Structure 1
Amino acid sequence: MSLELRRIPGAPMAQTLQIRSHELTVDGSVAEGGADGGPDPHDLYDAALGACKALTVLWYARRKGLPVQDVHTVIERDASAERSGTYRLAARLQISGDLTDAQMTELEAVAHKCPVHKLMASVTTEITTTVERMP
């Protein structure tokens, strides 16, 4: 799978992000020289974790027949030590439904195992970058 970003003409930094049939704007904040026309790359990184946890819990609950009615996810970022090698994300999931304490514990364990959490915390990601002239 690939995704594509193209600069928005006339915008100082903004990019249109195309993923399959979905399109959204990615931009830097005003302080970074952008127009804050969309989330910045750190926002997308953090959002990937929150979305993965929520979708994983919903998928698991449906598969196991657990009565989850709603999931609200909040991701808190602490990037204060990022330059020295530590980027902290705290995920809080609020789940509604007629669930027992044991089921809530089960869902918490499932949330810890979402694929993006594993990617961020356990997997070595290899990145190659090529810079070319535009045709």
Structure 2
Amino acid sequence: MSLQDTSQVSNCSAMSDVLNRIGDKWSVMVVGMLGRNGTLRFNELKRLINGVSQRMLTLTLRNLERDGLVTRTIYPEVPPRVEYSLTALGKTLEGPIGALWDWSAENHASIIEARSVYDARESAATAEEPRRIAYARG
């Protein structure tokens, strides 16, 4: 199926459904880290992904597993060892996510600069606007 024709409701729904999962920050980070590092344990992933909480990582891994992008392997040891890795479907995301990471790294400085220019322009425009004073009718 091709998602070229966005006038088709089913195509928009499919795109929305997929982007809701893989478009969030933590899913991109998890898939990226597993793609770059291979099989990882939970705490290894948590250390590699700056700022993710234990709860958010758990939810993200659960959702990625549900969607067939990540596999969870439990080893019957004491304490139990749990490892995560990309499935064959998850590995198909390595290229697009890798390209996104590379693009981000290459263009981050330009984006920061553009934000500064925009913010300065907005601050100047706000300062120049005449103040509107509301008078209460008595």
**TM-score range relative to shorter protein:** under 0.3
Q: TM-score, normalised by structure 2?
A: 0.24
TM-score by length of 1: 0.24
Higher strand share: 1
Q: Which has the higher helix share?
A: 2
Larger-Rg structure: 2
